[in-house]
Structure 1
Amino acid sequence: MASTAHTLKPPAMHPVDQAQGLRQMFATRVLRFIPVVANPRAASAGGLVLERLCAAYGACGLHTLVVDASEQARPPGELAEFDLAEGVERLSSQVSYMAARGLPLTFADARGSCESLLDALADASPQSDVVLVHASASELVRIFARRGRHANLRPLVFTNDMAEGLTDAYAAVKVLSQRGGWMAYDLLMCASRRSIQADEVIARLARCADEFLGVAQRTALRLDPFEPASLDPDARFMDMAAGLLRSALPHTLGDNAFDHLVSPGAALPARQSAVLN
């Protein structure tokens, strides 16, 4: 019986061709989407925040796509209207960028949801491990709310140490909680280390979010815009970046993205999927 049982075992599944083998390789590949709330009156801090996040994920060997749909961003190029991948600019081996002002609303369905943008971005940049979506609070709700409602999604809010930046940050938290149902966020304070009001702004935002909205400010860190961009992220920032990644919205690579990877002229990733996948 033992020998008979051995002969009845199903044969091992081997790829019948290279394409099938690649499809199996990428079947479990996962992108992670992180919502970053744009702050129009602390707009200069947005580039700093996105840059530092890219550096943190790059240090982990991850490739990051920045989708900038803020008011200050450029609109997508004309070719991106026909193929979203044409709007992806490769800045380095670890960072890509997409100018996307106004792009989310072009994906709005009859219920006002823009969640199909996530599928389109995954198809457009399948080589990416992390996608930072930088947009207003209302646009992020339209993009993420339906899929993120039952996920551990936690948006990243940033501000400067000025009253106007604080006002916009609080307004964003209000939109995220009341329309998106997100009751926790992380905060980055972009101000000089010598700023005497930065810590007070952090505390005031946390207090108002808690007392008036019931929202928790989970982690708050300071970023100095006067530090050189080449400076490696410190341990606390790396911890925040890792926490954002753990709470990010996962998206499994689909067949459309696979087809893009194996199409003529496409460059397949040279390394295996990251450990986090």
Structure 2
Amino acid sequence: MMRDVNPHTLAPQDQAHGLRRLFASSRVRFIPVVSNPHVMGAGVLLEGLCAAFAELGLHTLVVDAAESAPTPSELASVDLGACVESLSKDVSYLAARGLPMRYINAKGSAAQFLEVVTEAAPQADVVLLHASAAELARVVALREVRPVLLADTDANSVTHAYAGMKWLAGRAGLMVYSLLMACSPQLRMSERIAEQLSSCADGFLGAVLRDWACLDPRTPSSAPISTEVRHLARELLMAAPPGAALEASVDASPLRPVARSLMRPSAPQPARTVARPAVAAIY
């Protein structure tokens, strides 16, 4: 399903023109990515986002604080910048498992971690913070960011994605999400999964699944970036706190807006019973 285009909006010759102008004089964008241990192709999904940002001329720092991430170097407590690895001219990497928790203040917030990361990687235009929902909630609570949920067609991965949304909505007040799935874009089940997640988000949490995209883990790294992933990346950048007003563009609407499911619940259910039964209905 293609997005609607407003005929009254004049698109620039280069659709990325507005984003390039924005990043020329603005601060770093933080994009939370909810880790999902049930998604085997999570690394490929992160690489796809990095490639889409690189296409816009942006440098991405991947801060990997997921449960499966490497342990940070012993230098992290002394010189975090020395722990940042350069993977390419467009991507840097920081092994950060457990690192955000070192910056917890008396109120339980680890928001200072983002400031430290920014200072450690001044070359970064975008910071992808890959961590569990519980850890992300302590770092990005009350920020105007849009978390990315990861999933594939496995039932456990979908349940985990919904649980992450539920946690962040309740603990961090984040109500708008995007979904990136590790599967073929042609797989019809992907649309069913996205629609069901959208329905559960709306009916049980009052949250919104803004848009979604698929990236096949078997796709060669040399393959062109798909239109869906490219659009999702731009949406995430525009959802981050702007340093300046962003020009209107034809990319301002969802590429694959999620239709409301006919299975939408008629009334909210108790929170402890929502997650698994709601998403299990997909199958």
User: C-alpha distance in 2, partners of 1:103/1:249?
Assistant: 24
Structure 2 residue aligned with 1:21: none
The alpha-carbon deviation at position 29 of structure 1 amounts to 5.1
State the secondary structure of the residue aligned to 1:40: coil
- Taking the TM superposition and a 5 Å limit, the aligned residue runs for 1:133-172 are 133-146=129-142, 148=143, 151=144, 153-172=145-164
- Contact 2:75–2:83 (Cα < 8 Å) also in 1: yes
What aligned pairs does 1:1-277 form with structure 2 within 5 A after superposition?
A: 30-42=27-39, 44-146=40-142, 148=143, 151=144, 153-193=145-185, 195-249=187-241
Q: What do the CA deviations read for 1:206-243 (whole angstroms, capped 9, x no partner)?
A: 11111111111110111111111221212222121111
Distance 1:248 1:96 in 2: 20
In the alignment, is the contact (CA less than 8 A) between 1:34 and 1:249 conserved in 2? Answer: no
- Is 1:188–1:223's contact at 8 Å kept on the other side of the alignment? yes
Question: For each residue in 1:2-47, what CA deviation from the matched residue of structure 2 results, as whole angstroms up to 9, or x when unmatched?
Answer: xxxxxxxxxxxxxxxxxxxxxxxxxx551111111111211x2221
More helix as a share of residues: 1
- Distance across 2 between alignment mates of 1:220 and 1:59: 19
Over 3 Å counting, the alpha-carbon distance change for 1:102 and 1:249 in structure 2 is: farther
- Asked whether the 8 Å contact 1:65–1:128 carries over to 2, the reply is yes
**Residue segments in structure 1 that go unaligned for 5+ positions in a row:** 1-27, 252-277
TM-score, length-normalised on structure 1? 0.76
Where do 4+ consecutive residues of structure 1 move more than 3 Å?
192-196
TM-score computed with the length of structure 2 as normaliser? 0.74
Aligned length: 221
Q: Which structure 2 residue ranges, 5 or more long, are not aligned? A: 1-24, 244-283
CA distance in structure 2 between the partners assigned to 1:216 and 1:177 by the alignment: 10
What is the alpha-carbon distance in structure 1 between the residues aligned to residue 127 and residue 58 of structure 2? 10
CA contact (8 A) 2:153 2:189 kept: yes
Question: Which one has a bigger Cα radius of gyration?
Answer: 1
Alignment partners' CA distance in 2, 1:227 and 1:167? 25
Per-residue CA deviations over 1:75-129 (Å, capped at 9, x if unaligned) read: 1111122111111000111110001000010111111100000110010000111
Residue 199 (structure 1) shift: 2.2
From the superposition, tell whether residues 193 and 56 of structure 1 become closer, same or farther in structure 2 (CA, over 3 Å). Answer: closer
SS in 2 for 1:197: helix
Query: Identity of counterpart residues, as a percentage?
Result: 45
The code of the aligned residue for 1:38 comes to S
In 1, distance between residues paired with 2:71 and 2:135? 15
RMSD: 1.9
Secondary structure of the 2:122 match is: coil
Question: Residue 138 of structure 1: CA displacement?
Answer: 1.2
How many Å apart are 1:249 and its aligned residue? Answer: 4.0
For residues 208 and 190 of structure 2, the distance between their equivalents in structure 1, rounded to whole angstroms, comes to 19
